[in-house]
């Protein structure tokens, strides 16, 4: 109670301070993306085995958004949405092949870094922030969103040269688009790509930017497949100590298409891990990559804490979507259940976010754009679909549970208000079939309640939040695919 009332006072004071502050561009922004990181982070609690001291330490000084969701469950659409500020249903960007520069809806929009760059900020970036697309006109034939920043550093580093490697192989089963393989690379951590990106970002914090505030974006590429990181990160997780993730083999039986046939079946990667008995090996490799990503992020967070920018820099650390590791008989992203919709999201706004708080408000990565604009005193961007949660950051216990939307491909949507998850499989495959899960009694989303008449009103309430319009898919890339998706 004492804690609650002091929290309330802090929130109240901060609220007053915010209201009285002149709208100036006093904040810098450090924007950190971690590719394919799910909630297997100590402070997120998705897997108790995860060793993430740097993110956890940062969370103690910032705020964990415990119920944060992505706008899309694959890299391209999620990143395009949060960077343009628009939902997939409004842009037609549904897959990794849809370049936002080729969509009639988005090609002229000011993306988040451009919005800051055009309004007095110096913008710089390294690593994957925008989704990569093959483009003959871009440097190295790759559009990485370089055009959105004043400076772009293309970090090099090797995760090649294997000390050992594992890959589950079963005749007749393919591993899917990205190689489902892992092992220890020979390169020392200091010679790997994510370390190089983080070190570059850390070094920039010694600079001045001609008196301008900065917007710096850092993209970490692990734990994206393939899971090749130095041995020391595998050594953190002895294989015989790994606790395997629980899943139910009958879990997909209650998710049916409109014609009554099963909508989903176990994926090829799941079958590979299952039939070779390599679930623990795969889960250990993901954990190793999570700890590697955490180590790299620590380099820039430590540098920020020691820099002159420590007290006037907003930090947002986010994963672009979740990842299944055997749940729903799947290894990977995609689909619309909690495991792929929920993302790690840690925020620190000096003098606004009370330290060490876990916030249960429902936020979407789509909301980052208007929130950063709001916090930095820039004029609102009328094109943004999301909403600013700056108020929530100052007062994390306030009610903030409007259903938030996640989309996967054309016409498939998922909504959650923190209690329920409603899924509308409106695409061709699902034919309008529905799912409903109640997290109060079923946090693993095992039991689909959509056909239970007791929940008719809940579904009715959620349906009102489905997009009224679903923009047809924008043109796909005609250029060669980039190596990493
Ligand atoms: Ca991703
Ligand atoms: Ca089920």
261: CB partners within 8 A, 6+ apart:
none
State pLDDT tens for residues 216-227: 999 999 999 999
Cβ-contact 415, 427 below 8 angstroms: no
Q: Tell me how far apart the alpha carbons of residues 143 and 158 are, in angstroms, rounded to a whole number.
A: 21
Per the structure block, which two tokens stand in for 242?
Answer: 């790994």
Cβ-contact 252, 266 below 8 angstroms: yes
The closest ligand to the CA of 327 turns out to be: 2
Cα angle, residue 16 at apex, residues 10 and 22 outer, rounded to 5°: 130
Q: Tell me how far apart the alpha carbons of residues 5 and 155 are, in angstroms, rounded to a whole number.
A: 47
In the three-class reduction of DSSP (H, G, I as helix; E, B as strand; rest coil), residue 359 is classed as: strand
The closest ligand to the CA of 132 turns out to be: 1
CA of residue 412 to ligand 2 center, whole Å:
18
The closest ligand to the CA of 262 turns out to be: 2
In the three-class reduction of DSSP (H, G, I as helix; E, B as strand; rest coil), residue 88 is classed as: helix
- Cα–Cα distances in angstroms (integers) from residue 381 to residues 48, 166, 321, 385, in the given order: 40, 48, 24, 9
CA of residue 225 to ligand 1 center, whole Å:
10
The CATH superfamily assigned to 2-15+26-239+266-408 is Alkaline Phosphatase, subunit A (3.40.720.10)
Written as tens digits, the pLDDT of the chain (485 aa) is 344 444 444 444 444 444 444 344 489 999 999 999 999 999 999 999 999 999 999 999 999 999 999 999 999 999 999 999 999 999 999 999 999 998 999 999 999 999 999 999 999 999 999 999 988 888 788 899 999 999 999 998 877 788 999 999 999 999 888 899 999 999 999 999 999 999 999 999 999 999 999 999 999 999 999 999 999 999 999 999 999 999 999 999 999 998 889 999 999 999 999 999 999 999 999 999 999 999 999 999 999 999 999 999 999 999 999 999 999 999 999 999 999 999 999 999 999 999 999 999 999 999 999 999 999 999 999 999 999 999 999 999 999 999 999 999 999 999 999 999 999 999 999 999 999 999 999 999 999 999 999 999 999 999 999 999 999 999 888 766 655 44
Given this model, what pLDDT does residue 475 score?
A: 87
**Cβ atoms < 10 Å from Cβ of 239:** 11
Cβ-contact 72, 321 below 8 angstroms: yes
Cβ-contact 199, 153 below 8 angstroms: no
Per the structure block, which two tokens stand in for 123?
Answer: 């913008």
Cα angle, residue 80 at apex, residues 99 and 340 outer, rounded to 5°: 115
Chain centroid offset of residue 25 CA: 27
Q: Tell me how far apart the alpha carbons of residues 202 and 204 are, in angstroms, rounded to a whole number.
A: 5
Preceding omega of 226 cis (within 30 degrees of 0): yes
Q: Which of 293, 224, 123 is nearest to 482 (CA)?
A: 224
State pLDDT tens for residues 394-417: 999 999 999 999 999 999 999 999
CA of residue 441 to ligand 2 center, whole Å:
13
Is the backbone of residue 403 left (phi > 0), alpha (psi -120 to 50) or beta? Answer: beta
465, burial (CB in 10 Å: exposed 0-12, middle 13-18, buried 19+): middle
In the three-class reduction of DSSP (H, G, I as helix; E, B as strand; rest coil), residue 229 is classed as: strand
Cβ-contact 93, 110 below 8 angstroms: no
**Cβ atoms < 10 Å from Cβ of 338:** 22
Given this model, what pLDDT does residue 128 score?
A: 96
Chain centroid offset of residue 41 CA: 13
Q: Tell me how far apart the alpha carbons of residues 254 and 446 are, in angstroms, rounded to a whole number.
A: 9
Cβ-contact 125, 116 below 8 angstroms: no
CA of residue 437 to ligand 2 center, whole Å:
9
Q: Which residues surround ligand 2, an ion (CB under 5 A)?
A: 251, 254, 446
- Cα–Cα distances in angstroms (integers) from residue 53 to residues 9, 30, 294, 325, 371, in the given order: 30, 19, 7, 22, 27
Q: What is the dihedral of CA 118, 217, 355, 290, to 10 degrees?
A: 160
CA of residue 3 to ligand 1 center, whole Å:
37
Q: Tell me how far apart the alpha carbons of residues 137 and 270 are, in angstroms, rounded to a whole number.
A: 38
Q: Tell me how far apart the alpha carbons of residues 313 and 13 are, in angstroms, rounded to a whole number.
A: 20
Which of the residues are catalytic? 75, 131
**Cβ atoms < 10 Å from Cβ of 443:** 10
359: CB partners within 8 A, 6+ apart:
63, 64, 65, 66, 67, 392, 393, 396
First to last CA, the chain: 48
CA of residue 95 to ligand 2 center, whole Å:
26
Per the structure block, which two tokens stand in for 109?
Answer: 């929009």
In the three-class reduction of DSSP (H, G, I as helix; E, B as strand; rest coil), residue 392 is classed as: helix
Given this model, what pLDDT does residue 132 score?
A: 92
What is the SS3 assignment for 368-383?
HHHHHHHHCCCCCCCC
Q: Which helix (H) or strand (E) holds 462?
A: helix 456-463
CA of residue 345 to ligand 2 center, whole Å:
27
Given this model, what pLDDT does residue 480 score?
A: 63
């Amino acid at each position: 109670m004492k804690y609650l009332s002091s929290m309330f006072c802090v929130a109240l004071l901060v609220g007053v301070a915010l209201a009285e502050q002149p709208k100036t561009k006093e904040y810098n922004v450090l924007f950190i993306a971690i590719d394919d990181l799910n909630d297997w982070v100590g402070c997120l609690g998705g897997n108790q085995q995860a060793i993430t001291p740097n993110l956890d330490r940062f969370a103690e000084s910032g705020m964990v958004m415990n119920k944060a969701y992505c706008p899309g469950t694959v890299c391209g659409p999620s990143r395009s949405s949060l960077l343009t500020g628009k939902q997939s249903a409004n842009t037609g960007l549904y897959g990794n092949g849809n370049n936002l520069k080729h969509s009639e809806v988005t090609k002229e929009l000011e993306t988040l870094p451009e919005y800051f760059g055009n309004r007095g900020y110096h913008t710089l970036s390294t690593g994957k922030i925008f989704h990569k697309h093959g483009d003959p006109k871009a440097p190295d034939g790759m559009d990485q969103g370089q055009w959105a920043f004043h400076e772009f550093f293309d970090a090099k580093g090797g995760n090649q040269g294997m000390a050992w490697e594992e890959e589950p192989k079963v005749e007749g089963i393919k591993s899917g688009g990205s190689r489902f393989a892992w092992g220890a690379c020979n390169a020392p951590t200091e010679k790997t790509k994510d370390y190089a990106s983080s070190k570059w970002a850390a070094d920039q914090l010694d600079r001045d930017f001609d008196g301008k505030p900065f917007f710096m974006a850092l993209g970490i590429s692990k734990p994206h497949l393939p899971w090749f990181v130095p041995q020391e990160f595998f050594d953190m997780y002895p294989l015989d100590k790994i606790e395997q993730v629980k899943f139910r083999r009958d879990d997909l039986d209650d998710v049916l298409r409109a014609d009554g046939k099963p909508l989903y079946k176990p994926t090829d990667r799941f079958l590979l891990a299952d039939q070779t008995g390599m679930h623990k090996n795969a889960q250990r490799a993901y954990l190793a990559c999570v700890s590697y990503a955490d180590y790299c992020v620590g380099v820039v967070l430590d540098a920020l804490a020691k820099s002159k920018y420590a007290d006037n820099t907003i930090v947002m650390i986010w994963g672009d979507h979740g990842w299944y590791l055997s749940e729903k008989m799947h290894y990977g992203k995609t689909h619309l259940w909690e495991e792929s919709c929920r993302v790690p999201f840690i925020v620190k706004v000096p003098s606004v976010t009370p330290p060490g708080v876990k916030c249960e408000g429902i936020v979407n990565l789509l909301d980052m754009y208007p929130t950063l604009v709001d916090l930095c005193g820039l004029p609102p961007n009328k094109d943004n679909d999301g909403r600013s949660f700056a108020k929530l950051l100052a007062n994390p216990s306030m009610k903030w549970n409007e259903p938030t939307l996640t989309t996967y491909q054309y016409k498939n949507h998922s909504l959650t208000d923190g209690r329920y998850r409603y899924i509308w499989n409106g695409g061709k495959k699902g034919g309008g079939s529905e799912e409903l899960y109640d997290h109060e009694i079923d946090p693993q989303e095992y039991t689909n309640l959509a056909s239970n008449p007791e929940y008719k009103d809940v579904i009715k309430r959620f349906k009102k939040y489905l997009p009224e319009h679903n923009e047809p898919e924008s043109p796909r890339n005609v250029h060669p695919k980039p190596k990493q998706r």
